[in-house]
A and B are shown apart, each in its own frame.
Chain A
Amino acid sequence: MRDDVVSRALAQGRSILDEHEAKGLLSIFGIPVTRERLVTKKKDLAAAVREVGLPCALKACSPAIAHKTELDLVRLNIASLAAAARAYAEIRQAMGDAPGGVLVQEMVSGRRELAAGMTRDEQFGPCVMFGLGGIFTEILKDVSFRKAPLTRQDALAMMDEIRGHRILEGVRGMEPVDRERLAAILMTVGAIATRDARIKEIDINPLIVRRGTPVAADALIVLDDGGRATKRP
């Protein structure tokens, strides 16, 4: 058995990697993620906030909670240590008995939110997704897919395929998105899927564009536990 985050989660009977674990895995493969610290004890909060810097975001981080925004377990733009302590207490209380901790994360400033991901199609196997991120993913469903593994050309083509592809250009004074960096992220998502059959689904959303460069601000990884795990979010 490999000693990695996937093996450990499966050994614990889990079918979900939480945000921190998922981003840790993605960053090993070179996908840029937010700077963050996981805090499980209140006394470590101040140090974490100092390391990450202000303003920061606090989020519940638990394999038992897949959709933290819907449960109001996210606090953004925290500007002081005192505000961080209040947010920590609120999130902790709302989490109840859920395992895990609170993630202290840098605020990524960028007005454009994209999404990348992977799902396994019954007929075609792992397929990589690209599209508009944040709340627009579900509202507009403006996404495209490619079967993994992806060539660079596949990755570039799927960017042009979404209806809102002009968001990648330098609109309204924003820098154009670095398409090569974005292509590399999409190809990497495909490569992770073809390398590790235990990874069933990947969600990187939002993938925030910071000065033209995409950064994974949230992520979720679903594992194939062969239907053993009973704990589903």
Chain B
Amino acid sequence: MDLSFERIFHPRRVAVAGVSTDGFGFGRGILLSLLEMGFEGELFPVNPRGGEIKGLKIYPAIEDIPGEIDFAVIAVAAEAVPETLAACRRKGAAGAEILSSGFRETGTEKGAALEEAVRVEAARGIRVIGPNCFGIYCPKSGLTMLPGPDLSRETGPVAFVSQSGGHAIDLAFLGKAVGIRFSKMISFGNGVDLRETELLKYLTTDPETGVIAMYLEGVTDGDAFFRALDEATRKKPVVIYKGGLSEAGQRAVASHTASMGGQALIWESILRQAGAVQTASMDELAGACLALSLLPRRPYRGVTVVGGGGALGVAACDTAEAYGLQLPPLTGEIFEAVQAVLPKPGSSAANPIDIANPYVPPQTLEKALTAAGQDERVDIQIMVPLLYHFKALAAMLGLPSIKEATPYEAMAEAGARAAAATGKPVCAVLPNPRRTLADLDVEVILREARDSFLKRGIPVFSSLAEAFSAVRHAARAARRLEGHPD
């Protein structure tokens, strides 16, 4: 375990360079965010003008901070960054994140020269994240990225490494909503020092990280990255969304093979060869991370879909097949057992299991899931309670609101009990076609329901396709970890 990484992600003494007492500059923003997050260590704001902010003394220079520092957040103007970084190194900092922009991304000679100066300084003995990045988010220590004063402090298994700061902060917020918990998140921007390969190697050995997710645009050393990835995926699932895969720029080449080698195809093949799970969007990456956080590592193939009527049936079969999953039709004793618990008529105990009633009683769901889970071809079950229909039920029964009519807590419990009884995990899909302003109460109930399921370790998705995609990715990662190819 590299001690300098420990001091970067869990620093005790942190300098924040470039903090002004008012306005909305990055330095002030990140300092206030760190305070809001309840960062565990000591903070030392720095600005040549001095003064005070939120009861903290502002030091005129890094040199004026008493004692050593572990880490620094640098948000000064680009011209002042190399010098500030040097001061941090002399103060004993193991690393620094540089939020400032104005480097290579400007496409100017001046920007490139400044970036080179940062690289040279980093090589003298301080690890650098950035520049032009959103920095590190680490729920355990309370380090946060910008603008994230209210990210989750709950720690979890997923690490995310991103070239893009926007994707990082978005996933941090999305994760908070959908139940993905992070060990650490690193937005590395221009990546003069630490970037994909080194961070991947570190996270492979990091005991706080169980799942590695990455957003990449390009890599600096393809060979080194390939080797690190090939190694990492044998130990932990690695989920990658590669951005910028357009078919542009076909080189003028003489052979057919070279003209076939569009960037997208090569990347896809290489990531597969190295055992990574590849997604085509950030949403898909989030779904895979959620499934990999909550589901046991198994090579899932057989799925049941248990829902409350509607056109679930045919669509479920078609969709599952597209994701390489199967819906084995239930037969014999298991079919009989499922049929015995279903209300008649109109229900179907084959698979998908159609309960033919939008207001499915939780006990019925539990019994159906418990019976179907006995089939040895079934590896995982997906329940689709149509909670949005309960709004109409509330009106029919004269209840004051949808809340009194919707037994989501009992449904989550039913799923959890069935999973425990059968040893087969259960996922939930909570769709919502009611999306008008008048239906905000439905949205509220669905958010509450999501939390109920998550609390019991049941991943929740918004559509069957999303659930199938996530389960497929989880299965792929499991096969890789077991040493099987696809």
Contacts and interface: CB of A to CB of B under 8 A. Distances in A.
Interface of A: 16, 66, 115, 117-119, 121-125, 127, 129, 131, 137-138, 141, 143-147, 153-154, 156-158, 160-161, 201-203, 205, 220, 222, 232-233
A232 to B, nearest CB: 7
A124 B259 CA distance: 16
A202 B256 CA distance: 9
A157 B261 CA distance: 18
Contact of A147 (B218, B226, B259): B226
A138 B258 CA distance: 11
Q: What is the predominant secondary structure among interface residues of chain B facing chain A?
A: helix
A202 B219 CA distance: 25
B256 A121 contact: no
Contacts of A119: 253, 255, 257-258, 260-261
Given A121-B222, A123-B218, A129-B261, A205 B269 contact: no
Contacts of A124: 222-223, 226, 266, 270
A129 B261 CA distance: 8
Contacts of A125: 222-223
Contacts, number: 91
A13 to B, nearest CB: 16
Interface residues of B, number: 22
A117 B256 CA distance: 8
Contact of A203 (B255, B265, B486): B255
Contacts of A158: 269
Contacts of B258: 117, 119, 201, 222
B272 interface: yes
A122 B263 CA distance: 10
Interface string B242-260: 0000000000011111111
14 contacts: A121-B261, A121-B266, A123-B222, A124-B226, A124-B266, A129-B260, A137-B256, A145-B270, A146-B269, A147-B269, A158-B269, A201-B253, A201-B257, A201-B258
Given A124-B226, A124-B270, A143-B265, A157 B257 contact: no
Given A115-B257, A157-B273, 18 more contacts: A16-B254, A117-B258, A118-B257, A119-B253, A121-B222, A123-B218, A124-B226, A127-B270, A129-B260, A144-B269, A145-B265, A145-B266, A145-B269, A154-B273, A157-B485, A157-B486, A201-B253, A220-B254
A132 B260 CA distance: 12
Nearest to A123: B222
A153 B485 contact: yes
B265 A117 contact: no
Contacts of A222: 253-255, 258
A203 B257 contact: yes
